[in-house]
Structure 1
Amino acid sequence: MEILIVILIFLVVLLVKYNRVITILIKTLRHKPFPQNTNKPEQLTIDQQNALSAGLIIAEQHMFCWDSLESDARNSGKTEQKYRLGTAWDVFSPQSAVECLSSFGSFHKIVNSAIEIYLNVPKEQWQSYINDQIPEDYREIIGVYCSRLDQVSAILIENKVAENQEEVHQILLRGAIAWDLGRIVYIARASYVAGYINKEQAWQAINSVLPVVKEHFANWKQFGQSYMLGRAVYQPDDASIPGLFDIYTQATTSEDSPWLKYPLNN
């Protein structure tokens, strides 16, 4: 009897300690791709839907609905979004949410600088070029990103984001801006769900993304390739990478994907 009590106490302690992890795991197992908001308060325009679709991969990663600013999908509640905003982007208040949205989006510039060096400077000259041409604060990280691009190129082909090195080259030329644009959409949605910004502020940030998307990409596949490029350069060995590539594949092939329901530039 005493052993049983000890076991029960141990299980309770584990449940309390890992409650969030267990909850997310259960929700993930129950998650269906590209959920719609069954209680959405308004019908989106095509431009609003396309702007929202720029955040499709990260929305699917965090189990958000794809067809409304609000979300009734699992794992998208106020408490969860406050946790994610705080741990990932240091957003803890209305002020920090506004500051984050107004200043966010420079990561792709660092990646694109690394890509330019990777494509145009002989490898043995990378460090001297970086030392001569790159501000000191960015030299180390750009050197790291340059060194990852061979691995990233192989990852893109392995996961069928690109068919061959020629297509990888085209992806590199378009750069990694999509990863920043997609995350802006998510941060705006999460900040709205968390109660840090109002609906108008959220849509202002989200709508600002669409002209940039249309300027840089002919279709959603190109956008998705750029998004996965940025994500892979950032953490090529991260355990979540395979799941993100699965989302990319579904987003570009599934008949349920909003990228196929609402083609870009149509």
Structure 2
Amino acid sequence: MKNKTKLLIGLVVVLTIISCKGKEEKANLGDTAAKTETASAPAKEEAKGKLTKEQENALVFGAVLTTRNKMPFDDLQAAEYKDASIQVLSSAWDVTDTATAKETLEYLLAEGHKAEVDPALAELRTPEAATANSAEFQAYEDVKKNLVDNYGYTAEQIDGIKTISAWDYDRLVNVARFSYSAGYITEQEMWDYINKAVTQAKNDYNSWEEYFAGVMLGRTLAYGQPFADSKAQADILLKDSNSAYKTHPFK
């Protein structure tokens, strides 16, 4: 599958949807994340039209973009988002039907930006990288400095993160929601994709803090955006006592 490039799109229907995808190729970065299987999510609570606690928790693995988009974690509101979802999937992801939706979700699960960026992480932590002081090294250090100075991380925590897969999983949760809202996949298919991403995420990380750092490293190194662009989401998710990270368990 072709590499995906980022495109930021604001659509006002009832909410503003900003979708991120990566379409620009990054050279000399290649690896493949292992696939993991998981069971299906619990059935939706049809009586209230809301989600179970397990389903709410699964949606939190897309919290960075979901928070940016001001979308709820406890209600899919599929019908309300349909037109906006169709437009943002087409414009930002080249997704126009069931086949392209599933192709993109499979790409985010098995490959994504982690395949390109993960091999570079170890190199960015070497003395040689510090001496070269490349743009990628500066971007990595920018994420680390912000997380250490403002959110209680240690430098060792950031340097211990082995994958930026969280960035792919955060995007997958949102693309799966959009694809369901657009009518391209069923609700059960949406949960199947999300649950696979959640299972892989729990293998890759041990806490929301690690997971968020993985999203930030991925977004910065693959998506080309500085940490400052996500400061609002960092403040909400890491500092607000009522944030999705604070009210939902990671494992």
TM over 0.5: yes
Q: Is 1:49 the counterpart of 2:39 in the alignment? A: no
Q: Is 1:113 the counterpart of 2:99 in the alignment? A: no
Which deviates more, 147-156 or 91-100? 147-156
Q: 2: distance between equivalents of 1:157 and 1:123?
A: 16
Q: Is 1:222 the counterpart of 2:222 in the alignment? A: no
Richer in helix (by share): 1
Aligned equivalent of 2:241: 255
Aligned equivalent of 2:36: none
Aligned equivalent of 1:169: 159
Choose 1 or 2 for highest CA Rg. Answer: 1
1:164 offset after TM fit, Å?
A: 5.3
Q: 2: distance between equivalents of 1:125 and 1:63?
A: 41
Deviations 1:172-192 (A, max 9, x none): x33211000111111100001
Q: Is the 8 A contact 1:40 1:68 kept in 2?
A: no
Alpha carbon RMSD of aligned pairs, Å? Answer: 3.1
Which structure is richer in relative contact order (CA contacts within 8 A, separation 6 or more)? 2
Q: Cα 1:220–1:100, aligned 2, differ >3 Å: closer, same or farther?
A: same
Deviations 1:87-143 (A, max 9, x none): 2211011121122112224211211111122235834999xxxxxxxxxxxxxxxxx
- Unaligned 5+ segments in structure 2 are 1-8, 17-46
Q: 2: distance between equivalents of 1:264 and 1:164?
A: 20
Q: Is 1:196 the counterpart of 2:184 in the alignment? A: yes
Q: 2: distance between equivalents of 1:248 and 1:124?
A: 26
Give the counterpart letter for 1:81 in structure 2.
S
Q: Is 1:245 the counterpart of 2:251 in the alignment? A: no
Aligned equivalent of 1:87: 91
Q: Is the 8 A contact 1:70 1:189 kept in 2?
A: no
1:71 offset after TM fit, Å?
A: 5.6
Q: 2: distance between equivalents of 1:243 and 1:192?
A: 28
- Unaligned 5+ segments in structure 1 are 1-19, 29-38, 127-145
Deviations 1:188-212 (A, max 9, x none): 0000111111111111111112211
Q: TM-score, normalised by structure 2?
A: 0.71
Taking only the aligned residue pairs, the percentage that are identical comes to: 22
Q: TM-score, normalised by structure 1?
A: 0.68
Q: Please show how residues 1-266 of structure 1 align to structure 2 within 5 Å.
A: 23=12, 41-46=49-54, 48-70=55-77, 77-105=81-109, 106=111, 107-120=113-126, 122-123=128-129, 147-158=135-146, 160-161=150-151, 163=153, 165-170=155-160, 173-237=161-225, 242-265=228-251
Give the counterpart letter for 1:169 in structure 2.
D
Q: Which runs of 4+ in 1 moved over 6 A?
A: none
Alignment length (residue pairs): 209
Give the counterpart letter for 1:249 in structure 2.
D
Q: 2: distance between equivalents of 1:245 and 1:175?
A: 21
